[in-house]
């Protein structure tokens, strides 16, 4: 395992064509709906990474029939109509936030008793709001270490579909999604387990988000409608997932690193099979790049981004609340802009794999760039980074984003590049091939 990665500086504008893995978010949503479906579902374009392998291992541990064809990027799942085959099991979600939230919700509405284990990193991530909701619905949550965090033992509230005839009144829950929309996605996705349907009242000022829209669209494609009136979400009674084949989109988050490389070098990057009708929220990063002086064109092969001459980017102020995975990407290319770059609306990224706002500030400062850290924002000033080590905090997005600095700066070393196994395990292999660098160096 490579402990450090020295990024090779680019002396010419890039001219890259790249294929990226499938979307992690869409992969795990599709797998969850597949196991809750009333038949066999073939999921194609699956992302195989540390996160998705943990998700699949959890499904197998719960007794679901899962056929994995990794070379073909396919998984075939036999659904059990909303029931979990094994009434008792121990699962390990690793560092996978989606697996932790989605599976905890599913187990909370089951008729069994389960233990959820995880990595040290996942133990630090917030789960209390979801556990409070599940407890209020009748599940029993026993914290095995710190209250409000994994690991836990969950005894389901026995609302499995086959146990009860659907009534007229939907199950009602209330939720604040200020810190994370993942809890709402989790509850919506498992709502067909509740025979009388589910109504979720949003108590926060924020009521929607890009990942919620992905969830609703995918549920619709699996045959379950979600009504939304601007404040309340409702899944009707007797809902059931049915789908024979589902194809996962390429991961827009992964594509954005290559688009940013084009931006910062004044070159061109085409990511195959990514198009402007992509449903993922990170598509909006293309708008940010366009405001900074890039062009983005949807070609038959994929979206092509062309950076401004010499990578002379314009400064920008942008609220990235709805596509915050790209805050790190923007921060990494911000020093090369002609004016400050201010990123707002990102307070919630402090609670992700690491405190990402602080990771932006500490790494840029270490590389000689002025960066002002605020509770929900960061401002990066133009400058010339110098060489140095990037502390990744075991966060895949820190590692991939800050590799972009090295395309314009000698001596950028990424610590622990293997953390990318979470979503894009061969990212640095791909980067080496594109830059003509040996993988070992």
Looking at the annotation, which residues are catalytic? 325
How many of the other CB atoms lie within 10 Å of CB of 373? Answer: 16
Classify the C-alpha dihedral 219-319-404-181 as positive or negative.
negative
Alpha carbon 323 to its chain centroid, in Å, reads 10
How many of the other CB atoms lie within 10 Å of CB of 389? Answer: 16
φ, ψ dihedrals at 200, nearest 5°: -120, 115
Whole-angstrom Cα distance, residue 367 to residue 334?
13
List, in sequence order, the alpha helices (H) in 292-403: 327-333, 356-366, 396-402
Q: Which of 221, 253, 264 is nearest to 320 (CA)?
A: 253
Per-residue exposure over 302-311, b if at least 16 CB sit within 10 Å of its own CB, e if not: bbbbbbbeeb
**H-helix or E-strand spanning residue 59:** helix 50-61
Residue 272 forms beta bridges with which residues? 302
Whole-angstrom Cα distance, residue 324 to residue 288?
12
Question: Are 298 and 324 in contact, with CB atoms under 8 Å apart?
Answer: no
Question: Are 114 and 91 in contact, with CB atoms under 8 Å apart?
Answer: yes
Number of H helices and E strands in the chain, helices first, is 13, 23
Whole-angstrom Cα distance, residue 269 to residue 14?
7
List, in sequence order, the alpha helices (H) in 67-175: 97-108, 120-123, 128-136
Q: What letter does residue 321 receive in the DSSP assignment?
A: G
Whole-angstrom Cα distance, residue 314 to residue 432?
28
Q: Sheet containing 15-18: which strands, arranged edge to edge?
A: 15-18, 268-272, 302-306, 295-298
Question: Are 226 and 235 in contact, with CB atoms under 8 Å apart?
Answer: yes
């Amino acid at each position: 395992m490579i402990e450090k990665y020295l990024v090779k500086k680019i002396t010419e504008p890039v001219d890259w064509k790249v294929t990226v893995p499938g979307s992690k978010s869409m992969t795990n949503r599709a797998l969850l709906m597949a196991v809750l479906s009333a038949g066999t579902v073939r999921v194609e374009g699956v992302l195989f990474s540390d996160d998705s392998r943990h998700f699949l291992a959890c499904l197998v541990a719960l007794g679901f029939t899962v056929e994995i064809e990794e070379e073909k990027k396919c998984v075939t799942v036999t659904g059990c109509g909303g029931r979990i085959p094994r009434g008792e099991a121990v699962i390990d979600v690793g560092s996978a936030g989606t697996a932790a939230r989605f599976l905890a919700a599913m187990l909370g509405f089951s008729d069994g008793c389960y233990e959820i284990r995880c990595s040290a990193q996942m133990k630090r991530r917030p789960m209390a709001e979801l556990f409070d909701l599940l407890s209020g619905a009748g599940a029993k949550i026993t914290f095995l270490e710190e209250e409000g965090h994994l690991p836990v033992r969950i005894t389901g509230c026995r609302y499995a579909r086959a146990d009860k005839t659907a009534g007229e009144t939907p199950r009602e829950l209330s939720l604040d999604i200020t810190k994370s929309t993942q809890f709402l996605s989790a509850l919506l996705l498992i709502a067909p387990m509740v025979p009388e349907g589910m109504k979720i009242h949003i108590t926060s000022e924020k009521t929607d988000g890009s990942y919620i829209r992905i969830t609703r669209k995918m549920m619709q494609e699996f045959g379950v409608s979600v009504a939304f009136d601007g404040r309340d979400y409702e899944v009707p009674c007797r809902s059931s997932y049915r789908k024979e084949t589902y194809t996962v989109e390429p991961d827009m988050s992964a594509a954005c690193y290559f688009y940013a490389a084009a931006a910062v070098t004044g070159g061109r990057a085409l990511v195959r099979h990514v198009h402007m009708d992509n449903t993922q929220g990170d598509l909006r990063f293309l708008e940010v790049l366009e405001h900074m002086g890039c062009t983005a064109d949807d070609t038959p092969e994929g979206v092509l981004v062309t950076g401004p001459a010499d990578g002379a980017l314009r400064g920008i102020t942008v609220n990235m609340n709805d596509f915050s995975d790209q805050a790190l990407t923007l921060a990494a290319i911000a020093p090369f802009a002609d004016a400050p770059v201010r990123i707002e609306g990102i307070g919630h990224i402090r609670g992700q794999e690491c405190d990402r706002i602080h990771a932006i500030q500490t790494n840029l400062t270490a590389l000689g760039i002025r960066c002002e850290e605020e509770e929900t924002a960061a401002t990066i000033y133009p400058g010339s980074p110098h060489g140095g080590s990037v502390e990744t905090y075991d966060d895949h997005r820190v590692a991939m984003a800050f590799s972009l600095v090295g395309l314009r700066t000698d001596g950028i070393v990424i610590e622990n590049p293997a953390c990318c196994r979470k979503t894009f395990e061969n990212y640095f292999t791909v980067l080496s091939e594109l830059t003509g660098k040996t993988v070992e160096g």
